Amino acid sequence: MTFTAMVARESADGISLAAETVDDTFLPLGEVTIKVEYSSINYKDALAVTPRGGVVREYPIVPGIDIAGAVSESTSPEFAPGDPVVAHGYDIGTARHGGYAEYARVPADQVVRLESLSTREAAAIGTAGFTAAMSVKAILDGGYRPSDGPILVTGASGGVGSVSVDLLSKFGFEVVASSGKPDAVDLLTRLGASSVIGRLPEDPEARIRPLDKQRWSSAVDCVGGRTLAYVLSTVRYGGTVAASGLTGGADLPTTVMPFILRGVTLAGIDSVQLGITARRALWQRLETDLRPQHLDLLTYEVGLDELPQALDRILAGGATGRGVVTI
């Protein structure tokens, strides 16, 4: 069997990404072989084709941290040919060939069977939407309700942020969406944001106070850095901040004050190493109460031949919503 794969290779000139014809010996070990129908575009995928991006262990690699398609072969009793499935996280697309190919092979304990979502919908949700669902779940599990006040979402025009806006508005929260992209205001409003504001802090040069005016009942932060420090200083007493991003930097210039004087909870969100039992349970909720309302508004389609340009856009911060890659 031969098939097409987008292969990233490293050389002295950098990292190239190009279509290659490969055979099934190219695939890694695993119990489940998937005929890939869709993947998606994530910031991590862009880093995989960036010199010193820090996410790929060894080249060559097929990027694509999200895989959605139908099982073509399985040696696991859990899956049968034809089953619609999704796989993401773990080492997919970073140390194991990922979704930017016509076929992928993964261990059975990294695969989730889909019940009501289509494979395209699953790819549109993907890692970013799954991370958003984890973030919203952290807030709901904290007992917060719409009557508690507005919830902030930073980096709201990105994949995690936009799905978070959609989900929080579905649960009736007043959502304040923070984004540095003026052209994203219409989309965020249609997703359910009550108001759209610019990047935080408003003055990027100002010193961030240990404690500032209390503004939000809780928050989903997709940015990190100074933005997260500001959010922590402005969340109301007892609030939860679900943090999953570092596009604003890995440093966190804050103090213990929000935690010990306002009882703020900083909930770290990691979708990469989440165990398969919890992963499958959350996908069940993504097919029911945590199912996004507006996937059609959130998604844009990309062909394999458009991948290099699309990855450049997301790396430069020029992408909005979720890019679905049609294989």
How confident is the prediction along the chain (327 residues), in pLDDT tens digits per residue? Answer: 899 999 999 999 999 999 999 999 999 999 999 999 999 999 999 999 999 899 998 999 999 999 999 999 999 999 999 999 999 999 999 999 999 999 999 999 999 999 999 999 999 999 999 999 999 999 999 999 999 999 999 999 999 999 999 999 999 999 999 999 999 999 999 999 999 999 999 998 889 999 999 999 999 999 999 999 999 999 999 999 999 999 899 999 999 999 999 999 999 999 999 999 999 999 999 999 999 999 999 999 999 999 999 999 998 888 889 999 999
* Residue partners of 46: CB distance under 8 A and separation at least 6: 53, 311, 312, 314, 315
* Residue partners of 224: CB distance under 8 A and separation at least 6: 243, 245, 246, 247, 248, 249, 250, 252
H/E/C letters for each residue in 282-306? HHHHHCCCCCCCCHHHHEEEEEHHH
Within 10 A of 313 (CB to CB), how many other CB atoms are there? Answer: 17
Give dist(CA 144, CA 218) in Å, integer: 8
